[in-house]
Structure 1
């Protein structure tokens, strides 16, 4: 009988897998790789890729590593978690430099309280 990994895992493990999944998703977006493409390159289903990026603790470590290798060949888990990849630094710079546009009159009216 299968047990749900989210139920049996401790809160610390859930937090770590969630953090790892978010880091993988952020790396994938920074490298501009679609989730389906990364899954195919790793030999995984798209559902497994989704579970990885969601931080599912029931996914085998080999699948985590294959997915990472598919997104960024040669990158290690340590590099991923310390954001050493240049694409992650470029992504952070893009996020910091976004301009704020002026609101339209309709949007201003919606905010008027």
Structure 2
């Protein structure tokens, strides 16, 4: 009896959520490396639609496609480094996201805060 992977994985929401999380991490790594999805797909030898499906956590894809996509984005990277977000580009992205500029309050804002 032939069983579709996507049907089996949707029956287990925890597994589906893990795939979605993996796809989000891959997309975040690609953004950190400032790479377009089409360029990453071309380097991986897959279509842009397949790259899109990988980043969305589609359960019907082969693990080889996911590994090729990871290698195209960050050559030599492993699933462990992806999950731990230990890639230097991800660390820099996190630092850029955490810094926020502050500004001085206007006279009206200062007056409103004065009690």
Distance 1:33 1:40 in 2: 11
Task: Identify the residue that residue 11 of structure 1 maps to in structure 2.
Answer: 13
How far off its partner does 1:59 sit?
A: 0.8
When Rg is computed on C-alpha atoms for both structures, the one with the higher figure is 2
Counterpart of 1:47 in structure 2 is 49
Cross-structure match for 1:85: 87
- Please give the secondary structure, in 2, of the residue aligned with 1:13: helix
Q: Partner of 2:18: helix, strand, or coil?
A: helix
User: Matches of 1:38 and 1:55 in 2, distance apart?
Assistant: 16
Q: Which stretches of structure 1, 4 residues or more, deviate above 2 A after TM superposition?
A: 1-4, 98-102
Contact 2:5 2:59 in 1 (8 A): no
How much does 1:76 deviate?
A: 0.2
The structure-2 alpha-carbon separation of the partners of 1:60 and 1:101, relative to structure 1 and needing over 3 Å to count, comes to farther
Of 99, 102, 106, 2:101 maps to 99
- Secondary structure at 2:15 match in 1: helix
Separation in structure 2 between the aligned mates of residue 93 and residue 86 of structure 1, nearest angstrom = 11
Shift of 1:99: 2.7
RMSD between aligned alpha carbons? Answer: 2.0
Alignment partners' CA distance in 1, 2:21 and 2:40:
19
> Could you tell me the TM-score, scaled by structure 1's length?
0.82
2:38 counterpart of 1:31: no
